[in-house]
Structure 1
């Protein structure tokens, strides 16, 4: 496995100087001569790259966004993997506000599941280490239809969350009941929610590769993603903006979160695993922080906060991130996805995450950070 690069400091970048004048900073970043960038750009078709970089400017009390896109197209499908947990967390907090007897700290467990948790703990686990079981418990609370409707009602679309993650019968349309503690001794049983069965997505690149494994047998045909979750770049970007900068949107496009809930969510999104008690050797700082630091095991600088949600599965790496440097007064948003499956076989666990995907996203983050460091505001 290819060795990871060590990130020595925020001002050491692999990008070389160029005499070309770029009006698009994303184009400039992707024109870097760093091999971490060029080996992807030289083989774009294989990597199905999509990127949105958002500049953030402030004038008086107003926030202004300027988006720069590279190959962003909601009709070109990519598997969102664990980025789909971000809308689950937000929708859960909003739904809790509508039930007087529940809060983030209410204890519950799913019928048939021995793990007792709270909504707050599940959300923390989703962002700290991308825990699949924690996400699936929230799906049982929400139901797919309600989750999707909440996103669309706030202008986060297109989106289609159809299934749980890494779970048997993950696409069941009926949720499991929750046993909820109203106090130390009183529990209630929630009713199952019956959801609409998913219809096949009709998008480009919905079938990928040349073969895939199913039940340890090689199937010599493309892998069909048409019944999988769908959460494209523009929708990820829209959700992140509404959470980080709700004041930039009209009231009807803001999620109904209390101040306590939003502060909790923001804290969960940037908190590193070790601060929640996870083993730092296994869950190092950049375990789920791909941009800028994803190719390093080194500790991240304390003045850099990354509010994000990553996803990686089926050879696709995706990150949805707001990056803030409190020391140098820098902040910006990046959403990106990249496919790194050189043998074009799915479900074989032979992907190029460490060799190609993580280094590319890390260097992309560094290139854009360098641009932001020099940019006049």
Structure 2
């Protein structure tokens, strides 16, 4: 708290109260400001995953288990596999494949139409091209027939005009230190309010009008929810590398412990450029509590980007883990009254 400006923390915590069949939300904010930019990193994979399911739902010939590959690539995948990889270990390539399927215009437009704003997704993640044109998908319609999707041309992203859109005092590019602020104006923009809104719609669709809900079949929604809380080990990953808290920063990010069976965390984390974010619905069936929590923190003491010197393990993850535990404790106390 004594050096709050440098960490650019934003937190939204939602209490959930139930009466009969209805669910009421009470939001509590700390420094949440849509105009204050932070880099969303992999949290942007959450809308991509949901919208890919919705697009499948509108296409009779495709299902989550339809096999496909990206033109020019040999790796076969399915949307089911992509979504599992996105939530279990935050796989960049799985996300980028779904981006090729959707295109950025469609992603941004769909979110806006559902009242999830502001948001602007404009680039793939990890090792990628900045090509504005999406690559076609080669889809197996059955064992002997393939179909091909149209390539989509995305618009050139406009500069974001936001506070803190330029950060730090320098950055590395091609091994060379450039002594000026790092410019995020062409990057993805997915603030706390939009992340939290999307999570609410996925977890509590009945609280929204039909036009604001995602159009998913009950099977698709069940699959999505399962993927969101499944730990890497249960998704088939090696537990030594991908421990339970690997993509669950709140409560468990700073420990290698197994998450108890009665606690389910439906979430999407992001970490890149010194920014750590988690957007989560946390449910404890043993103590009968649940709540929503979204938070972001920047840990870049030297003010230099792309130098891989960020305080993720020293400050960022312990902060988010403890924040999750504090709010959880608060909910336990609230439940006992």
Question: TM-score under structure 1 normalisation?
Answer: 0.88
CA distance in 1 between partners of 2:290 and 2:36 (Å): 28
Aligned length: 336
Of 75, 91, 114, the match for 2:35: 75
- Equivalent residue for 1:241? 200
Q: CA deviation at 1:253?
A: 0.6
Q: Deviations over 1:114-140 (max 9, x none)?
A: 110001100100000000000000000
RMSD: 0.8
Residue 284 of structure 1 pairs with residue 252 of structure 2: no
Q: Which structure 2 residue ranges, 5 or more long, are not aligned?
A: none
Deviation string, structure 1 residues 16-64 (Cα, Å, up to 9, x no partner): xxxxxxxxxxxxxxxxxxxxxxxxx221000000000000011111110
Counterpart position of 1:53: 13
- Where in structure 2 are the equivalents of 1:1-377 lying within 5 Å? 41-169=1-129, 171-376=130-335
CA-CA distance at 1:168 after TM superposition: 3.1
Q: 2 CA distance for matches of 1:236 and 1:371?
A: 23
- In structure 1, stretches of 5+ residues that fail to align are 1-40
Deviation string, structure 1 residues 119-166 (Cα, Å, up to 9, x no partner): 110010000000000000000000000011111111111000000001
Distance 1:290 1:328 in 2: 21
Aligned-pair distance for 1:191?
A: 1.1
Whole-angstrom distance in 2 between the partners of 1:49 and 1:144: 28
Q: Matches of 1:308 and 1:61 in 2, distance apart?
A: 24
Q: Which moved more, 1:49-58 or 1:147-156?
A: 147-156
- For 1:287, what is the secondary structure of its paired residue? helix
Counterpart Cα distance in 2 of 1:295 and 1:327: 23
Distance 2:156 2:142 in 1: 35
Give 1:90 shift: 0.6
Mean alpha-carbon deviation: is it higher for 295-304 or for 266-275? 295-304
CA distance in 1, matches of 2:74, 2:305: 32
Moved beyond 4 Å, runs of 4+? none
User: Structure 1: how far apart are the matches of 2:263 and 2:330?
Assistant: 16
Give the superposition deviation at 1:167.
Answer: 2.7
Q: CA deviation at 1:201?
A: 0.1
